Amino acid sequence: MQQTTNKYIFKIPVSKKTPKKPYKNSKSAFLLGFLLILGVGIFIFSLVENPQTDEDRLLDLINRIKSGEELPSSKMRDYCHFMAVLRDSISPQCVCVLDGINWDNPPKSPDRLPEIWEEFFKSNNQRDRRFFNHKTYKNIRIDFDDKDKNGNDKPHWHRENPNEKDKKHQYLDKNCNPIKRGLPDSHIYIRIKR
């Protein structure tokens, strides 16, 4: 038998060397990457302003008011909230900000008061009802015992001044100014369409 040789067979050279590892020192590469990420994180954190405490924000707002700056409504709400919570103090100006009622057009019914108001007293004759607001530490009252010159009911609200010092400052008018009990402006009338 004769052996035939195939002239089309190619020999592929095989290397006797072992393949190289992609990373010689994978532990040091990991450590280097970790330190790089940590450094970038510390750099970014140093650029970000440190968060202020509520007391710091209140002091900032007090300084802005003292300098004569007129605060936007959202900042004024923050100021009043912080004064009530942190200093246990609330000015008539803040009462208006926090009570959630438009006193130029007061609610026609106690059912239309914002949810922050809770009823705590209802008279037996249903002529007046009283409400309390935990945010402003004050009471409001609606009276149904007033009549106009034609004998029609003329319901009206009274707003107690939380900073009352004497009877001359017992109520607040619709513009949050302290006012004496019994004066016409201490009655905030409901607009009734006829």
Interatomic CA distance for residues 135 and 80, integer angstroms: 10
Say if residues 129 and 121 touch (Cβ distance below 8 Å): yes
- What pLDDT sits at residue 135? 67
Interatomic CA distance for residues 85 and 94, integer angstroms: 12
What single-letter DSSP state applies at residue 138? E
- What pLDDT sits at residue 136? 64
45-84 b/e with 16+ CB inside 10 Å = b?
A: eeeeeeeeeeeebbeebeeeeeeeeeeeeebbebbbbbbb
Residue 46 lies inside a defined structural domain of this protein: no
* Residue 106 shares a structural domain with residue 165: yes
Residue 28 lies inside a defined structural domain of this protein: no
Give the count of domains, the chain: 2
Q: Which two tokens mark 124?
A: 């037996």
Residue 8 lies inside a defined structural domain of this protein: no
* Residue 110 shares a structural domain with residue 184: yes
Q: Which two tokens mark 112?
A: 């239309």
Residue 6 lies inside a defined structural domain of this protein: no
- What pLDDT sits at residue 63? 93
Per-residue confidence in pLDDT tens, the chain, 194 aa? 555 555 666 666 666 666 665 556 677 778 888 888 998 888 887 777 666 788 888 899 989 989 999 888 888 888 888 887 787 777 767 777 777 788 888 888 888 888 888 888 776 767 788 888 876 667 888 887 766 666 666 788 888 887 777 778 888 888 888 888 888 888 888 876 65
